[in-house]
Amino acid sequence: MEIIKRGAEAEIYLSDWRGRKVVVKRRVKKGYRIREIDEKIREARTKREAMLMISARKAGVSVPIIYDLKIKDKEIVMQYIEGKRIKDVINEEDEEWQRRICREMGRSIANLHKNGIIHGDITTSNMIWMGGKLYFIDFGLGEKSEEMEDRGVDLHLLMEAFKAAHKNKNLFEWVMEAYEENFDRGEEVRKKIEEIKRRGRYMKKVG
């Protein structure tokens, strides 16, 4: 297997599975944890991520297909999405394309949140455009939650990612327009995002 990414929680490999090009995500050992506890934590997180991806697909969100789940090996074998990261292409595209993609983000995130799925790391690095579809990847920090705070934090992270890496100031508003159209509690989530922003400004002043 060829390693393509090494993170704090997992290693990502490019491999072959029954003639298909796949990604293998393997959770790494943590030496500072007792071995038995480490095994249980990594197994639980592997299973949780797989279940979130399956739930996301059922909710109408494009995610990699899971081909195999190896709980004991802490591995998920999944479809290789051979497309372009939104982070790498959105600044180069025209405004109409940007608006279309952002509205697709908003619709997809609404479908996640309506179904109690929190992605946990919604950034343009974790979205891939392939074959006319927007795919969401890396649910490793995700969870099941109906809390408004968790939904707000999910979207606040995307807002900050846009500010940090992308030029067009309309991007997040386009996301929110589609989000509110597709989620009847969207306005409440928008208010929560504003509350989180105010908290952040307060903490900066205090700090």
Show the tokens assigned to 113: 């949140």
Q: Is the per-residue pLDDT at 165 higher than 90?
A: no
| Domain CATH code at residue 16 | 3.30.200.20
- Asked whether the whole model's pTM tops 0.75, one would answer yes
Average pLDDT over residues 121-136: 96
Domain final residue pick, 30, 58, 79: 79
Residues 91 and 160 in one domain: yes
Q: Would you state the structure tokens that stand for residue 32, as one six-digit string?
A: 């500072």
121 has catalytic annotation: yes
Which residue is catalytic, options 121, 138, 150, 154? 121
Torsions phi, psi for 87 (to 5 deg): -55, -35
Looking at 50, 79, 108, the residue that finishes a domain is 79
On whether both 96 and 197 belong to a single domain, the answer is yes
Alpha-carbon distances, residue 32 vs 28, 36, 37, 44, 171 (angstroms): 12, 12, 10, 18, 41
**206 pLDDT more than 50:** no
Question: What pLDDT score was predicted for residue 31?
Answer: 87
30, 60, 79 - which closes a domain = 79
pLDDT > 60? residue 207: no
At residue 166, the 3 state secondary structure works out as coil
Does residue 98 share a domain with residue 35?
Answer: no
142 and 43 co-located in one domain: no
Per-residue pLDDT at 1 exceeds 50: yes
Rounded mean pLDDT of the chain?
Answer: 94
Do 38 and 89 sit in the same domain of this protein? no
pLDDT at 56: 98
Which pLDDT value is given to residue 8? 85
- Ranges assigned E (strand) in 52-137: 66-70, 75-79, 84-85, 117-118, 127-130, 133-136
**pLDDT for res 199:** 83
Q: Give the tokens for residue 116.
A: 């109690």
Residue 141 identity (one-letter amino acid): L
| Domain limits for position 15 | 2-79
Are 105 and 75 in the same domain? no
